[in-house]
Amino acid sequence: GQCGNQVGCRFWDLALREHAAVNKKGIYDEALSSFFRNVDTRSGGDGPDIYKGKICSLKARALLIDMEEGVVNEILQGPLRDLFDSKQLITDVSGSGNNWAVGHKLYGYQYRENIVEKLRKTAEHCDCLQCFFIIHSMGGGTGSGLGTFVLNVLEDEFPEVYRFVTSVYPSGEDDVITSPYNSVLAMKELNEHADCVLPIENESLFDIVNKIHQMISSGKLGSTVKQNSLVTSSAGSARTVQEKPFDAMNNIVANLLLNLTSSARFEGSLNMDLNEISMNLVPFPRLHYLVSSLTPLYTLADVNVPSRRLDQMFSDAFSRDHQLIQADPKHSLYLACALLVRGNVQVSDLRRNIERLKPSLHFVSWNQEGWKTGLCSVPPVGHSHSLLALANNTCVKPTFTELKDRFMKLYKKKAHLHHYLHIDGMEQSCFSEAISSLSDLIEEYNELDATKGGPRTDPSRLEIAI
């Protein structure tokens, strides 16, 4: 969809920038091969993959899907055009009309074979396929409907490969009236078929962008900020044209994905792979929604100004300003928390900060030390260190309850339902099942919340006769 491809475009741009900063010799290495293929284009067209040696032509390991052509065409005409070839695209012309049913049932059925074939092709190029990333928005028709259809296909065709989904959730004032329908219908699919979901809200991205603008323009920073260190910036990347309005926000999401995969790509003293994230942060299969926060948002260029203390970075990760959804994990219940640190940070810094922050956070009784940590030696571009915090926390509940309320408002009046029901394969039960799935999820979070602050009774241990 539109959102997915726009975020994706920023992601590939920043990924190239990150690898270029680390890989000075232009050798195609293991780190690069996680996201890119190295193709021999000298013989013209699509040559064979080259697994070692110099970089010839990099191709992104990606599938770009959109039911209208505008966004994908722009990518193909822009500075990233060489990253993709025609076999990685699935497009149509008329769009999904912000209708989940059109995306999921109509286009899903129509394009299933095409999707499976192209997925197989990209998977074949991989030595060892560990994970699929889906980037989409929940409120529209393509990303939401066709996106979740693809999620189903991934589970059917590649059951052992992890499915991580980055979903942009609509805000209350979203201008797409039917976004609650689309989102709730998509949620059911995410509940049942995703391994991990990273929900993102535009409001939070917008607030972060504003915060940065304010800091820069108010002169509070005192000295220049390293331009390429801004979590919102495209500086140093391939894109030289004027930045588009959503670029800054999309860069934040792109940085999220880069940080998430940094320890899998680069070395460190305590590696953290994607399957470890799924293992440690998902205690029960359906509770796989993770709240993410990124720090720092920028770094100062002036070496005379002491860099923001390391500990401040950890504190920031737990402040509302840095969360990518409107949520308050500090006042809700943690089921698990992961800290992925990049750069010149050692285990003692990690331990000191965990000890410091622990007392103010509420962890579920059976996971009082529920911390998963990773140390990656390579920092992001422009920074000396950075931190990504992923929390499985009941604070996602309000996001879901609000979504449910908005859905019910429309559903009770049967508003716009006919647009969905006249699509082949759509029935009233799709709606009732979807809302029921969401309600069950909310109830699971409620049950956990009820245990918060209650008396702690540890189960009695096994007794052994000598």
Partner 1 sequence: MSIVTVQLGQCGNQIGREVFNAICSDVHGTHGLCSKKENESYRDACKERFFCEEETEVPVARAVLVDMEPKVISQTLSMAARSGYWKYDDRSRFCQKQGSGNNWANGYSVHGPRHKEVIMNLVQKEAEKCDRLGGFFTIMSMAGGTGSGLGAFVTQCLRDAFPTSFILNHVIWPYGTGEVIVQNYNSVLTLSHLYQSSDAILVHENDVIHKICSQLMNIKQISFRDVNQVIAHQLGSVFQPTYTAEGGLHYSRNPLGIDWQVQPPSRLLPPLQPFPNRPLHFNTSIANLVILRGKDTHGVDLGSFQDPSLYTSWLNPRDAFNAWKTPRAFNKYEKSASLVSNSQFLLKPLDNVVGKAWNMFASKAYIHQYTKFGIEEEDFLDSFTALEQVISSYTIL
Q: Are strands 36-39 and 57-60 parallel, antiparallel or unpaired?
A: antiparallel
Task: Give 263-284 as a DSSP string.
Answer: HHHS--SB---HHHHHHHH-SS
Q: Which is nearer to partner 1, 207 or 273 (CB)?
A: 273
Least distance in angstroms from the C-beta of 387 to partner 1: 14
What is the radius of gyration, based on Cα positions, of the chain? 22
Which residues 6+ apart lie within 8 Å of 307 measured at CB? 299, 300, 384
* Planar angle of CA 27, 58, 387, nearest 5 degrees: 75
Site for partner 1 in 6-65 (CB under 8 A): 30
Least distance in angstroms from the C-beta of 132 to partner 1: 14
Q: Is 140 helix (H, G, I), strand (E, B) or coil?
A: coil
Question: Applying CB under 8 A, which part among 83-91, 201-209, 253-261, 372-380 lies near partner 1?
Answer: 372-380
Nearest to 237 by CA among 10, 56, 71: 10
Question: Beta partners for 271?
Answer: none
Number of alpha carbons in the 13 Å side-chain half-sphere of residue 374 = 30
Question: Applying CB under 8 A, which part among 50-58, 279-287, 397-405, 437-445 lies near partner 1?
Answer: 279-287
Chain mean position to CA 441? 20
Q: Is 166 helix (H, G, I), strand (E, B) or coil?
A: strand
Out of 79, 97, 283, 398, point to the residue binding partner 1 (CB under 8 A): 283
- Lookup: tokens for 442: 């909310």
Least distance in angstroms from the C-beta of 466 to partner 1: 6
The answer to whether 241 contacts partner 1 (rule: CB under 8 A) is: no
Least distance in angstroms from the C-beta of 55 to partner 1: 19
- Lookup: tokens for 111: 């394009």
Least distance in angstroms from the C-beta of 164 to partner 1: 13
C-alpha span between 207 and 7 (Å, rounded): 18
Q: Is 104 helix (H, G, I), strand (E, B) or coil?
A: helix
Q: How many residues bind partner 1 (CB under 8 A)?
A: 45
Least distance in angstroms from the C-beta of 447 to partner 1: 11
Out of 43, 242, 348, 429, point to the residue binding partner 1 (CB under 8 A): 348
Nearest to 391 by CA among 297, 315, 289, 256: 289
Out of 69, 85, 92, 349, point to the residue binding partner 1 (CB under 8 A): 349
Which residues 6+ apart lie within 8 Å of 21 measured at CB? 381
Q: Which is nearer to partner 1, 135 or 287 (CB)?
A: 287
The answer to whether 355 contacts partner 1 (rule: CB under 8 A) is: yes
Least distance in angstroms from the C-beta of 437 to partner 1: 18
Out of 124, 173, 175, 369, point to the residue binding partner 1 (CB under 8 A): 369
The answer to whether 336 contacts partner 1 (rule: CB under 8 A) is: yes
Q: Which is nearer to partner 1, 455 or 459 (CB)?
A: 459
Least distance in angstroms from the C-beta of 280 to partner 1: 4
Site for partner 1 in 99-138 (CB under 8 A): 127-128, 130
Which residues 6+ apart lie within 8 Å of 386 measured at CB? 259, 294, 295, 296, 313, 341, 342, 343, 379, 380
The answer to whether 354 contacts partner 1 (rule: CB under 8 A) is: yes
Q: Which is nearer to partner 1, 93 or 128 (CB)?
A: 128
The answer to whether 227 contacts partner 1 (rule: CB under 8 A) is: no
Least distance in angstroms from the C-beta of 344 to partner 1: 9
The answer to whether 307 contacts partner 1 (rule: CB under 8 A) is: no
Question: Beta partners for 91?
Answer: 66
The answer to whether 370 contacts partner 1 (rule: CB under 8 A) is: yes
C-alpha span between 310 and 273 (Å, rounded): 24
Out of 125, 213, 214, 279, point to the residue binding partner 1 (CB under 8 A): 279
Q: Which is nearer to partner 1, 152 or 278 (CB)?
A: 278
Least distance in angstroms from the C-beta of 377 to partner 1: 10
Least distance in angstroms from the C-beta of 371 to partner 1: 3
Q: Assess contact for 281 and 392: CB atoms under 8 A.
A: yes
Phi, psi of 6 (to 5 degrees): -70, -45
Q: Assess contact for 157 and 76: CB atoms under 8 A.
A: no
The answer to whether 273 contacts partner 1 (rule: CB under 8 A) is: yes
The answer to whether 351 contacts partner 1 (rule: CB under 8 A) is: yes
The answer to whether 462 contacts partner 1 (rule: CB under 8 A) is: yes
Q: Which is nearer to partner 1, 225 or 350 (CB)?
A: 350
Phi, psi of 278 (to 5 degrees): -65, -40
The answer to whether 270 contacts partner 1 (rule: CB under 8 A) is: yes
C-alpha span between 239 and 236 (Å, rounded): 8
Nearest to 200 by CA among 256, 247, 121: 256
Q: Are strands 333-343 and 385-393 parallel, antiparallel or unpaired?
A: antiparallel
The site for partner 1 (CB under 8 A) is made up of: 30, 127-128, 130, 267, 269-271, 273, 275-276, 278-285, 336, 346-349, 351, 354-355, 358, 365-373, 375, 458-459, 461-464, 466
